[in-house]
Structure 1
Amino acid sequence: MAKDEEPSLEERIARLRLPKDDEVFGVVEKALGSGHMKVRCEDGNSRTCRIPGKLRKRVWIRGDDVVIVDPWEVQSDEKGDIVYRYSQTQLGWLKKEGIWEEK
């Protein structure tokens, strides 16, 4: 890529974590305690999600945070795991690119 060329949308998106395969966007509605959250997902389901141990110690998740949810294979409409949380800067970028729209 030349110095004065604008990077393509695909190149800019490649730097940011997006949902893969069965994963969906979600918004944390409330904390239930013990590392569990109630999340309203983009596919219309409201899931009880847990924060896996590797995220629990590194990331602080609060209400109204935008997250990526990986639904469980069993009870996929009711339960899932939170695999990523977006910062406010990342969320602003997603809105600007038209990937995330507030509902």
Structure 2
Amino acid sequence: MSKATKKKHVTKEVLDDFVLPEEEEFIVKVTAGRGNNLHEVQNSTGEKFLVSMPTKFRKNVWIKRGDFIIVNPIEEGDRVKAEIVTILYKDQIKYIKQEGKWPEQFNEVENEDLKDDMLPPSDSGDSDDEIGDMVRNVNRPQVYYEEDESDSDEDSENEDG
């Protein structure tokens, strides 16, 4: 199988399959990437440990901090305690919640994260031209320019005189 075909099949599987965690599998939240295809995760009880990404996902699917995944525990691992089975996206999480298999502890964490990510609404009004003010990149410093009215008055007097 070529790389392109493999990537197509893996991506389709990750995006389109709606799976529920089986009896030994469980849902965890990714807290950090540790390199070398290892990720630090936190389970519903708050325990943190490392999980490995299987070869089929490597260079085909990306996960980031805050994503939810289904993992299968491995017995032989001291530091690495599980392997990723499925990466969950918004529609798959919604399906798991409808089936009643979603851990309640992650509902509370998800609501707290949403509160942290929300920005206060802009005071600039409802104009479509100012939509950019409502969506701010929190990773960039906010710079505000104020125009000094006294300078503009002097300039206009000098131009007239």
> TM-score of the superposition, structure 1-length normalised?
0.71
State the partner residue of 1:26.
28
Q: Pick the aligned partner of 2:64 from 62, 65, 76.
A: 62
* Structure 2 stretches lacking a partner, 5+ long: 1-16, 109-161
Equivalent-residue separation in structure 2 for 1:45 and 1:35 (angstroms): 20
Equivalent pairs counted in the alignment come to 89
Equivalent-residue separation in structure 1 for 2:67 and 2:34 (angstroms): 15
Higher relative contact order (CA 8 A, sep 6+): 1
Equivalent-residue separation in structure 2 for 1:18 and 1:49 (angstroms): 19
Are residue 41 (structure 1) and residue 43 (structure 2) matched? yes
Deviation, structure 1 residue 44: 4.6
> TM-score of the superposition, structure 2-length normalised?
0.48
Equivalent-residue separation in structure 1 for 2:45 and 2:72 (angstroms): 12
Aligned ranges 1:1-103 → 2 under 5 Å:
16-42=18-44, 44-75=46-77, 79-100=81-102, 101=104, 102-103=107-108
Q: Name the aligned partner's letter for residue 85 of structure 2.
A: V
Quickly say closer, same or farther: Cα 1:43–1:69, change in 2 above 3 A: farther
Deviation, structure 1 residue 20: 1.5
Q: Deviations over 1:62-92 (max 9, x none)?
A: 1110100111112478511111101122223
* Structure 1 stretches lacking a partner, 5+ long: 1-14
Q: Which has the higher strand share?
A: 1
Q: Name the aligned partner's letter for residue 71 of structure 2.
A: V
Deviation, structure 1 residue 42: 2.8
Q: Which has the higher helix share?
A: 2
> Identity rate of aligned residues, in percent?
31
Once structures 1 and 2 are overlaid, which stretch shifts more, 44-53 or 32-41?
44-53
RMSD: 2.3
Conservation of the 8 A alpha-carbon contact between 1:46 and 1:77: no
Q: Deviations over 1:13-58 (max 9, x none)?
A: xx62111131110000011111110011235532201101101232
